[in-house]
Amino acid sequence: MELGIAILLAVGMAVFVATPVLAPETPGEGALPIDVTPLTDLKRRRMVVYENIEDLEFEYKAGKIAENDYHALRENHLAEAAQLMLASQEQEEVSEDDVLIERQVALRRAQRKLQPPDPYTCPGCGFENPMAVKFCGNCGNQLPQPTPKK
C-alpha cells in the first residue's frame, strides 16, 4: 500500500516536472517584451560590442591573444559597432508623421493646462484621485472641496 502511494507520488512529480519541458513552444512565447523597441535593442547590442572590445583589449594586454588575432577581432568588433551606430542613427531620424504627432501632443497638453483643475486632482502633488475624497491618496494633503452648483 505504501509502495503504491510512493510510486504514484513519484510518477505525479515526474509528470509535473516534465510537462513544461516537453510542451511545444507557442508562437508568442519567444517574442520580445513589449517595452523593447528596435532602438533600445540596437543600443543594447552596441553596448555588448563595446564590452567585447574592452574584454578583447584586456585579454590582449594579458597575453592571452596573439597580436594578429587581436587586430582581426578588433577590426571585426569596430565594424560591427559602426554598423550598429549607423542603424541607431537611422532609427532616431524623425519623420514628418512623428513631427505632426509631437505637435498634436504638445497642443493637447497646452489645452489641458488651460482647463480648470479636476476637483479630484491634488493641487500639491498633482495626483488624480479616482473619486471624491477629502484627502489626497498620494500625499495626504487636504483637497479643496468643490463648491456646489446652484
In the prediction, which pLDDT does 14 show?
92
If DSSP codes are grouped into helix, strand and coil, which group holds residue 76? Answer: helix
How many angstroms separate the CA atoms of 93 and 64, rounded? 42
| Helix pair 38-61, 67-92: axis angle to 10 deg | 160
Residue pair 120/132 in contact by the 8 Å Cβ criterion: yes
In the prediction, which pLDDT does 26 show?
66
pLDDT > 90? residue 23: no
In the prediction, which pLDDT does 142 show?
87
At 111, which amino acid appears? Q
pLDDT > 60? residue 32: no
pLDDT > 60? residue 134: yes
How many angstroms separate the CA atoms of 96 and 102, rounded? 10
Q: How do residues 34-83 score in pLDDT, each as one tens digit?
A: 667 888 888 899 999 999 999 999 999 999 999 999 999 999 999 999 99
Q: How do residues 72-112 score in pLDDT, each as one tens digit?
A: 999 999 999 999 999 988 888 877 888 888 889 999 888 87
How many angstroms separate the CA atoms of 88 and 90, rounded? 5
Q: ∠ at Cα 28 (27, 32), nearest 5°?
A: 125
User: pLDDT category, 18, cuts 50, 70, 90?
Assistant: confident
Q: Report which of residues 23 and 8 the model is more confident about.
A: 8
How many angstroms separate the CA atoms of 12 and 17, rounded? 9
